[in-house]
Amino acid sequence: MAKTIVVKQIGSPIRRPAKQRQTLIGLGLNKMHKTRELEDTPAVRGMIAKIPHMVEIIEEKG
């Protein structure tokens, strides 16, 4: 079974660069306080690292 992480959006993309909004959409987030369970891969970790002020890792499973 693959490792997964639960990510929550804690910041708004309003008045932020378009790339940051696109990164949120790439993670499957688009509304405040929404959570997603994603595979723990280097690509996902890199996306989270690009917008640490807008997302929070809630839980690491696996």
- Per-residue pLDDT tens over the stretch 18-62: 999 999 999 999 999 999 999 999 999 999 999 999 999 999 998
Question: How far apart are alpha carbons 4 and 18 in whole angstroms?
Answer: 27
Structure tokens given for 42: 């280097």
pLDDT at 25: 97
Closest listed residue to residue 59, CA positions, set 13, 12, 5, 22 = 5
Closest listed residue to residue 13, CA positions, set 55, 47, 57 = 55
pTM for this predicted structure: 0.92
Question: How far apart are alpha carbons 48 and 45 in whole angstroms?
Answer: 5
- H helix intervals, 1-62: 18-26, 42-50
